[in-house]
Homo-oligomer: A and B are copies of this chain.
Amino acid sequence: MKEHIKGYAYGEAGLEHSPVTKQDLELLKKTLLWSDDDNRFLKMAGDVLQDQTDAVLDLWYNYVGSNEHLVYYFGENGKPNEHYLSAVRVRFKQWILDLCHRPYDQAWLDYQHEIAKRHHSTKKNQTDQVQAVPIVHFRYIVAFIYPITVTIKDFLKKKGHSQEDVEGMYNAWFKAVTLTALLWCHPFVHQGEF
């Protein structure tokens, strides 16, 4: 049985519906040159990453922690909140698997919208009931597409797959992260301009 993850609300009935429709999502996937191969490679990536999520999170947290202007968002008055950091970390680990294994259906869209609000002042800090700066600035959400993408490659190589499979998994991951990041920007964008 799956352990309960504090604050993880995937599939819960009470979630607000995403403002992005399934038809919008199809056009976004088309823009990202999404194919059936990407579904297959994402699943493969999920299997490869399954037992490596702690190592991935160590790397990412080390990156955030060693950049004052980033760890800033996990605290206030220049002091990171350790409770906040570790509560988010557990959901972040689950996100890696969800990105790879979940179908991109209405429940997936709705949880993307929930995560979007959790990065925005709409809902930041509420899930973990913490006092911290009120918003993650937009610029870094898009910027993170780069580190979150490139750092995954070494982990994708660790299970002896061919170079072709690694490239396939890597490109599917790149697409999925780009899609995720842009969906999470919705609360930051002027009405009608998204």
In the bound complex, residues from chain B placing their C-beta under 8 Å from that of A69 are 27, 30-31
- A139 interface hit (Cβ, 8 Å): yes
Which residues in chain A, 38-88, are within 8 Å of chain B measured between CB atoms? 67, 69-70
Q: Which residue of B lies closest to A151 (CB)?
A: B33
Evaluate contact between A143 and B185: CB separation under 8 angstroms. no
- A133 interface hit (Cβ, 8 Å): no
| A27, A135, A175: most-surrounded residue (chain B CB, <10 A) | A27
User: How far does the Cβ of A65 sit from chain B's closest Cβ, in whole Å?
Assistant: 14
User: How far does the Cβ of A145 sit from chain B's closest Cβ, in whole Å?
Assistant: 6
Q: Which residue of B lies closest to A144 (CB)?
A: B31
Which of B30, B174, B175, B188 interacts with A189 by CB under 8 Å?
B188
Interface SS of chain A: helix
Per the bound structure, the CA–CA distance linking A30 and B143 in Å amounts to: 10
Which residues in chain A, 100-149, are within 8 Å of chain B measured between CB atoms? 120-121, 135, 137-140, 142-147, 149
Evaluate contact between B138 and A178: CB separation under 8 angstroms. no
Q: Which residue of B lies closest to A191 (CB)?
A: B190
Binding site for B on A (CB under 8 A): 24, 27-28, 30-33, 67, 69-70, 120-121, 135, 137-140, 142-147, 149-150, 171, 174-175, 178-179, 181-182, 185, 188-190, 193-194
